[in-house]
Structure formats: C-alpha cells, structure tokens
Amino acid sequence: MADVQPSRDDYPSRIADLLEALATKIRSLTVDKIARAINFVTLGLLALTLVATALVFLLVGLFRIGGEVTRKTCDCTGYMEITYAVVAGVFLAVGVFLWSRRTRPAPKDDS
C-alpha cells in the first residue's frame, strides 16, 4: 500500500488556505478587539460631550432663572450681583461639603 500523496498542483492552494487561516486568526486576536475598543471609546466621548453640553445649558438656564427671580423679588438695580453671590455661595457650600468628606492620608509612622 502506497501512501496517498497530494498532487503537486494541490500544494499552492493548500499553502494559500493555510496563510488565509493564519491571517484570519491573527486579525481576530488583534484588529477585531481593537476595533471594538475604539467603538466603545468613540461612543463614550460622544456621550461625555453631550452630557457636558447639557450640563452647561442647565447651569446657564438656572442662572438666568435665578436672575429673574432676584429681579422680581429685589426690585433693585444690582440684582445680577445678588445672583452671582447666591451662585458663589452654592459653589462654596458644595466645596466645603466635599472638603469635609475627603479621605485623609494615614499618619506616617516614624519608628
């Protein structure tokens, strides 16, 4: 019984199939994973941009509403300064609260 050898004409197609399978395997291990990560990063940046824009519009709208409320209740010419003072006070209160809730570093042991 003689071993069945593939014909010489079959070798180029087998080598081409092997190289194609190798390239497909390498692409699935590298490029496909990176492409998925790039999609997540892109969507994250888009969401961050939209949220930041919405936050800016919200803060501007709240400031204008505060200005109108101050103008109606104060009935004076310096109502915008009062609005700035109120907004600064809110930011100061939030900053003091966050500063009080910070984690303190552990004391150093000099022994």
Backbone angles phi, psi at 82, to 5 degrees: -65, -40
- pLDDT of res. 56: 96
The lowest-confidence range among 2-11, 25-34, 63-72, 77-86 is: 2-11
What pLDDT, on a 0 to 100 scale, did the predictor assign at position 65? 92
Q: Please name which of 81, 59, 58 lies closest in space to residue 70, comparing C-alpha atoms.
A: 81
> What residues does each domain of the chain span?
15-100
Read off the pLDDT of residues 13-70 as tens digits, 9 standing for 90 and up: 888 888 999 988 888 888 888 888 999 999 999 999 999 999 999 999 989 998 898 8
Q: Cα 60 to chain center, whole Å?
A: 23
Q: What is the Cα–Cα distance from 99 to 94, expressed in whole angstroms? A: 8
pTM score above 0.75: no
